[in-house]
Amino acid sequence: MTLSRDIRIFMELDQTDRRILGQMQRDCDISLESLGEIVGLSRNACWRRIKLLSEAGIIKGKVALLNADALGLALTVFIQVRTDQHDPDWSAKFARATRTLPQIQGVYRMSGDLDYLIRAQVADMKDYDHLYQKLTSSVSLADVSASFVMEEIKDTTALPL
């Protein structure tokens, strides 16, 4: 019974759903009343749609976005990682290590010549070195190189609708 493995249910979204999602992914700290006015619906219709969208897993959750600079995390760094070990044991260890480190926001296994791309947020170079030391001491990595963000031109969690 592996037939259903790759089947994915896509909920039908109309223009109003999209408008609701669009607003909420920009700012969800808004009353149902105001949201209703924006999308042209009663507060209640909005409420029921949001409930459905949440239950369908389209809305993953609501979070507060924090200001990295104000928290003293001025440096964003992308770390490129190459490995010579491709066994599942190594992968699990690498995943666990990166998921545990709170400085790391994203870890992606990539196509192409580099194996993994890591996005992290640190205070400064010294702090980056800490992260580097922790990372390389918990898993063996063949090649690690870092690129630092000089300027953040765009940074959003909003997806296209």
Partner DNA sequence: ACTGAAAAGGGCACGGC
Partner DNA sequence: GCCGTGCCCTTTTCAGT
Residues making contact with its own copies (CB under 8 A): 8, 10-11, 13, 21, 24-29, 56-73, 76, 78, 94-95, 98-99, 102-112, 114, 116-117, 121, 147-161
Contact status: 18 vs DNA (CB under 7 A) = no
Residue 57 C-beta: closest distance to DNA, Å:
17
Q: Could you tell me which residues come within 8 angstroms of residue 133 by beta carbon, excluding any fewer than 6 positions away?
A: none
Contact status: 47 vs DNA (CB under 7 A) = yes
Q: Of 69, 59, 60, 54, which is closest to residue 155 (Cα–Cα)? A: 69
Contact status: 44 vs DNA (CB under 7 A) = yes
Contact status: 48 vs DNA (CB under 7 A) = yes
The upper half-sphere exposure of residue 48, i.e. CA atoms within 13 Å in the direction of its Cβ, equals: 4
Sign of the alpha-carbon torsion through 133, 90, 102, 118:
positive
Near DNA by CB under 7 A: residue from 49, 79, 116, 122: 49
